[in-house]
């Protein structure tokens, strides 16, 4: 005899199916869990993207007012700090501060922003240790904060600054220029800082930097990691210009293969040197320069160096 739909023998099977079928509340919880996982995944993907930053400008730096300086001589410094880590990837920011102490105007490359637990970037940490104003000129945002870029730290009064992105579309990295106008010794000094890429984008970025540097009114300074040695055709043509001084290249310590530069127009070169003690994968380079009297600015780049000691 065939069992009917109401056969009591079907009760155990129907009961088992009822137990397997999730309740509406449980189905909603599962859907919510899936949506939450998708949202977290999307946020992680978005946060990990390196978003390039656009142009920006301002009339002052961060931190306390610049103390200023008397006389007409200043010490410049340029340092690619490797994210505050030594060549063995050990944190070394206090040694960075020790290297650059005594500089009046610093260009810093490979500066990292704050972490998810602290919003303080490395430029601020270095500047506060030196007691000087600073500006973190980030090239990109990542994890919803300014993540990586360059910085200026100076005891001199900055009247205006501008940040320009310079990487072409499709570039492998994000790069920028920081142009600052500094008042010192009766002159308005144009200071250009940058860190260029190492790949095929370098030639175009370098051309942009050189054109801007040569167009600035004197006195003018270009500092930073250009990622090309002095025998690169564009660099070679630049430093062979009689109106331009390669201050790093004049130091016997630097050799001929340096890729970090302090270039001068309309300023008197005095002395230069370097510290290569393993603080970073780059040496720290410094130069002492003078702002000449206004009627002597055209001859400033040709003045022979005077005697001076190394970093104090």
Enumerate helices (H) and strands (E) in the chain, giving the number of each.
6, 14
Antiparallel, parallel or unpaired: β 73-80 and 105-112: parallel
Picking from 190, 192, 242, the residue whose alpha carbon sits closest to that of residue 219 is: 190
Antiparallel, parallel or unpaired: β 260-265 and 220-225: antiparallel
Distance CA(64)–CA(47), nearest Å, equals 32
Whole-prediction pTM value?
Answer: 0.83
Picking from 237, 222, 204, 241, the residue whose alpha carbon sits closest to that of residue 285 is: 222
Q: Where do the structural domains in the chain lie, given as residue ranges?
A: 9-46, 51-302
- Dihedral sign for Cα 58, 61, 63, 65, please: negative
Strand segments, DSSP code E, in 127-171 are 134-142, 145-154, 158-165
Distance CA(98)–CA(108), nearest Å, equals 14
Antiparallel, parallel or unpaired: β 220-225 and 187-195: parallel
User: Around Cβ 110, how many Cβ atoms within 10 Å?
Assistant: 21
φ and ψ of 82, to 5 deg: 60, 40
For the chain, 312 residues long, give each residue's pLDDT as a single digit of tens: 455 555 555 655 555 555 566 778 888 878 888 877 877 777 666 666 768 899 999 999 999 888 888 999 999 999 999 999 999 999 999 999 999 999 999 999 999 998 777 779 999 999 999 999 999 999 998 777 888 999 999 999 999 999 999 998 878 889 999 999 999 999 999 999 999 998 888 999 999 999 999 999 999 999 999 999 999 999 999 999 999 999 999 998 887 789 999 999 999 999 999 999 999 999 999 999 999 887 554 444 444 444 444 443
Q: Any idea what DSSP says for residue 291?
A: -
Homologous superfamily assigned to 51-302: Endonuclease/exonuclease/phosphatase (3.60.10.10)
Q: To which residue do tokens 């001199």 refer?
A: 156
């Amino acid at each position: 005899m065939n069992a009917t739909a109401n056969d009591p023998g079907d009760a155990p099977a129907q009961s088992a199916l009822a137990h397997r079928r999730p309740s509406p509340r449980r189905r909603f919880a599962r859907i919510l869990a899936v949506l939450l996982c998708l949202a977290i995944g999307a946020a992680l993907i978005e946060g990990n993207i390196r978003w390039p930053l656009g142009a920006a400008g301002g009339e002052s730096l961060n931190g306390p007012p610049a103390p200023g300086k008397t006389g007409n001589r200043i010490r410049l410094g340029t340092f690619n700090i490797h994210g505050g880590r030594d060549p063995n990837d050990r944190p070394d920011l206090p040694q960075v501060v020790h290297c650059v102490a005594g500089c009046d105007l610093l260009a810093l490359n490979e500066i990292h922003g704050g972490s998810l637990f602290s919003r303080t970037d490395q430029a601020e940490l270095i500047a506060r240790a030196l007691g000087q104003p600073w500006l973190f000129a980030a090239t990109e945002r990542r994890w919803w904060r300014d993540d990586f870029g360059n910085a200026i730290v100076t005891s001199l009064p900055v009247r205006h600054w501008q940040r320009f992105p310079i990487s072409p579309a499709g570039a492998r990295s994000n790069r920028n220029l920081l142009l600052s106008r500094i008042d010192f010794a009766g002159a308005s000094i144009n200071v250009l800082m940058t860190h260029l890429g190492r790949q095929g984008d370098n030639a175009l970025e370098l051309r942009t930097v050189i054109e801007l540097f040569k167009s600035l009114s004197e006195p003018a300074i270009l500092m930073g990691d250009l990622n090309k040695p002095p025998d690169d055709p564009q660099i070679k043509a630049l430093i062979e210009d009689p109106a331009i001084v390669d201050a790093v290249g004049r130091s016997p310590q630097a050799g001929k293969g340096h890729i970090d530069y302090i270039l001068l127009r309309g300023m008197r070169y005095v002395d230069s040197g370097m510290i290569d003690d393993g603080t970073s994968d780059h040496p720290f380079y410094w130069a002492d320069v003078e702002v000449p009297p206004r009627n002597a600015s055209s001859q400033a780049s040709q003045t022979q160096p005077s005697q001076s000691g190394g970093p104090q």
